[in-house]
A and B are shown apart, each in its own frame.
Chain A
Amino acid sequence: MQAVTKTTQATPKPAKSDHPSGDRRFKTLDMTMKRHQYKPDALIEVLHKAQESFGFLEEDVLTYIARGLKLPLSKVYGTATFYHLFSLKPNGAHTCVVCLGTACYVKGSNKVSAALEEELGIKLGETTADGKISLMAARCIGACGIAPAVVFDGTVAGKQEPEMALAKVKDWELE
C-alpha cells in the first residue's frame, strides 16, 4: 500500500502517457483506444484522432497505435496510406484545398488551381518550402451549388475567381 502511494507521488503529472516521450497527445490516443476497448476494428477512428492531435502521422505514432491495438505495423501503415485524409508528412501552417469536383471543374476550378500553383511555385498536394502553405485538391466537397469552391483553413469559400483565391493566399504569404 505504502509503495503504491509513493509511485503516485513520484509521477506528478497524471496525464502522462505510456509513451517514453511523455507527450500528452499520446494520452489522447490512449483514451480513444480504451474507449474502443483496444479492438483492432477501431483502427480508423484512432487514426482520425491521431491525425487530429498530431497534424500528421509519423512513424512513431503509427508504431504506438499498432502496439495499442495489437496489429502488425504493416496493417496500420497500409490503412493509413490507403486513405487520402491521412497524411504521413506535416502540413503547412495554412491549408488551401481546391475542389476539383465536376461542378467546380465545369466552372473553371482548374484555372483557380493553376493560378495558385503558379503563385506558390508548388504543385497540388505539396507544401511550400517555408512550411507556410499547403496546397491540396479535393475530389468534391459537396458545395456544388456555389462552384467553384475553395476551402481556406477549413472555411469553405464559394464562387472563386483565380484573383480572389490569389488575394487570400497572398495575405498568408505576408504573415
Chain B
Amino acid sequence: MDLTELLDVGEAHRAAQKATRVHCCTSTGCRAASAMEVFKNLKTAVQDAGLEAEVEVVGVGCMGFCGRGPLVQIDPQQALYEEVKPEEATSIIDTLQGGTTPALKGDLQHPFFARQVKIVRQHSGKVDPESIEDYISVGGYRSLYKAIYEMSPGEVVDEIIASGIRGRGGGGYPTGLKWATVAKMPGDQKYVICNGDEGDPGAFMDRSVLESDPHLVLEGMAIAGYAIGANHGFIYVRAEYPLAIQRLQKAIQQAKKYGLLGSQIFDSPFDFKVDIRIGAGAFVCGEETALIQSIQGGRGNPIPRPPYPAQSGLWQCPTLINNVETLANISTIIREGGAWYASIGTDKSKGTKIFALTGKIRNNGLIEVPMGITLREIVEEMGGGVPDGEVKAVQTGGPSGGCIPASLLDTPVDYDSLVAIGSMMGSGGMVVMDQDTNMVEVAQFYMEFCRGETCGKCVPCRTGTVQLYALLTKLLKRQATQADLAKLESLCHMVQETSLCGLGISAPNPILSTLRYFNEEYQELLQPPAYLNGKVGHGQVTVSQ
C-alpha cells in the first residue's frame, strides 16, 4: 500500500457514506443500558421508513456522557439524544422527516461538551471502531506514512520531545526523553509495550479509547516502533475489558490486511507487528516491571529499578512502555507538529488529559480537557456539581492519589500542582464525594484495595498495608487512641519510603491526604477519655467491616 492507495481507500469510503449518519454508542457503558437494542431498532426503523438510500446507522465508540446512556447522535443535524429507550428508536428516525420524538434531547452547548478539547477522543463517537476504512477516511494512518517517508527516526523522537508530552499513566515522565533513551540503546531487538492495564478503580479512559478508536493506538505504537527501532509491540489489556480486546483483535487483523501492520509497512523496509496480551486481574501489573514479568508468563512481581525497562526490559531487551492515552496522542503530534501540541496546556504540562468524572456528580462521564483547567471548572461547570448537597472532596489518582478538599478546588489540574497538594494526576480517575462520604472510610476502602492487591514481594508493602488497614479499622470501631493515630502516620511514611514499587510507595497517599485535610474526622473517632465514661457525643459513623 502506498499513499495514493491509502487516500483512495479513505475517499472511496467517504463517497460510500450516506448523507445522514445516525451514531449510536455501542461501548460498555451504553451497552449495559440496552444500547444494542436501540442500535437494532434504529436500523429496523430506517428500513421501515424506506430511508436506506440516505440514512445509515453506525455503531460508534464512546461519546463521553456515559451516565446518560444510551446516546444517539445524528450527523450532520448535530442532534443528541440521551437515555434513549429501545422503543424511541422509530420516533428518532421520524424526526429526519419532520416528526417529533419523546426522547430526551441533550444540549451539545453545555459546558460538559463545549469546554472539551479533543485530541485523543477526536474520532471517538464519530467513527465505527470496527471499521478501518472509517478510520482511514478521517485521515488515519497518514501520520504513520509521514513518519516513515518524510521523517527520520531521530526527527520523530525530536518532534515528541518538542511536544512536551508527559506519560499519561500517572507518573508524568517526559515521553520524548523515554523514547530518546530507548532509541539510543544498542541492540537489534527492541520492543514497544502499550500499557492498557488500567487498574485504578474509578478510571475508564483507556477502556474507552481502546473501544472507541483502537486504530489510533495501533498507529501510535507503530510510529513509536519506527522511532526507537522496534519491530514488535505488545498491548497489555485487562481481562475485565472484553469488548476492548475484541475490537483490538479485529483492528489488528484489518491493519495487517491493508499492510499497515506486519512486514514492510507502506512497502518500506519497516516491519512492525502487534500482539495482544490479556491480563488476569492483578492491579500491580500496571507497574512497568511487573507488567513485563506478566507478559513473560510469570507472576506479576515488580523488580528493582535500575536497570529501567528502557535499558533491559522484555526478555532483557530495551523496551519502551507507554500508556494507552500517551500513544493515542502520537498520531496527532506527528500530523500537527510538536510545537502545535506544546501550545496547549500549561508551562510544564502540555496537551490535554482525559478524566473519568464519576461519583456524586450530575454529569457522569469522560471529558478531555486542556491541562491547567481548574478542578472547580471541571466539577462545577462541566460536571454540574453534586446533585443534592455540596462537594466535600475530589479524589484523583485512584489508590495512589489523594483526596482534595473543596477548599482547594481552584487548583489547576497539572502534574505538579496536584503533587504539591498531596494527590497526583494518576491515570485520570476523578471521583467526586459529597457530605455523606466519611473520609476515614474512604481511606480504609483504598487501604483494603492495596492490602488485597499488594504482590507480597517486599515486606513494607505486604505487611504495611495490612497494619495500616488494621489501624484504620480500629479507628472506625472507635477503639483507637492518639498513639494509634501517631503510629498510623509514621507507618505511612515508612511504607512510602521503603517499598519497592509504585504500589507501595503511593499506597499511603489516601491516608496522608485525608489526615492532612480532614484531620477532624480522625480526631472525632478517637476514643473518649476514660473519665467521661464514654459520654461524649459523636457524629454518625457506620463501620462497614
By a beta-carbon cutoff of 8 Å, the part of chain A in contact with chain B is: 39-45, 47-48, 75, 78-79, 82-86, 100-107, 110, 138-147, 149, 155-158
Contact = CB atoms under 8 A, between A and B. Distances in A.
A140 B202 contact: yes
Interface stretch (B109-117, B169-177, B297-305, B317-325): B297-305
A107 B240 contact: no
Given A103-B202, A140-B200, A146-B69, 7 more contacts: A45-B277, A83-B300, A101-B201, A101-B202, A140-B202, A144-B358, A145-B69
A92 B28 CA distance: 25
B243 to A, nearest CB: 10
Interface stretch (B160-168, B429-437, B463-471): B429-437
B175 to A, nearest CB: 24
A39 B429 CA distance: 37
Contacts of B446: 102
B100 interface: no
A139 B69 CA distance: 23
A45 B33 CA distance: 31
B398 interface: yes
A146 B66 contact: yes
B201 A139 contact: yes
10 contacts: A48-B278, A105-B445, A106-B358, A107-B359, A110-B544, A139-B281, A140-B202, A144-B358, A145-B356, A145-B358
B365 interface: yes
Contact of B300 (A82, A86, A143, A156): A82
A85 B237 CA distance: 13
A140 B358 contact: no
A44 B66 contact: no
Contacts of A105: 201, 445
B198 interface: yes
Given A144-B204, A146-B67, A158-B33, A48 B280 contact: yes
Contacts of A139: 199, 201, 281, 283, 449, 452-453
B297 A140 contact: no
Interface of B: 28-29, 31-33, 65-67, 69, 198-204, 207, 239-241, 277-283, 294-300, 356, 358-360, 364-366, 395, 398, 429, 431-433, 437, 445-446, 449, 452-453, 455, 544
Contact of B297 (A44, A106, A158): A44
B67 A145 contact: yes
Given A102-B398, A110-B544, A143-B28, A47 B198 contact: no
B297 A138 contact: no
A42 B297 contact: yes
Contact of A82 (B199, B200, B278, B299): B299
A40 B297 contact: yes
Given A84-B280, A85-B239, A140-B203, A158 B300 contact: no
Contacts of A83: 279-282, 300
A81 to B, nearest CB: 9
Given A102-B431, A157-B32, A147 B240 contact: no
Given A139-B283, A146-B29, A44 B277 contact: yes
Given A43-B298, A48-B280, A142 B28 contact: yes
Contacts of B204: 140, 142-145
Q: Which 3 A-B pairs have the closest CB atoms?
A: A145-B66, A101-B201, A83-B280
Contacts of B449: 139
B67 A140 contact: no
Given A86-B280, A140-B199, A146-B66, A102 B429 contact: yes
Contacts of B433: 106
A145 to B, nearest CB: 3
A99 B148 CA distance: 44
A47 to B, nearest CB: 7
A134 to B, nearest CB: 15
Contact of B201 (A45, A140, A158): A140
Nearest to B436: A106
Contacts of B360: 106-107
B77 to A, nearest CB: 25
A155 B34 CA distance: 11
Given A79-B297, A142-B240, A102 B33 contact: no
A155 B455 CA distance: 29
B331 to A, nearest CB: 23
Nearest to A140: B201
Nearest to A86: B280
A72 to B, nearest CB: 12
Contact of A145 (B278, B298, B365): B365
A85 B281 contact: yes
A86 B299 CA distance: 12
Given A84-B280, A143-B29, A106 B240 contact: no
Contacts of B358: 102-103, 106, 144-145, 147
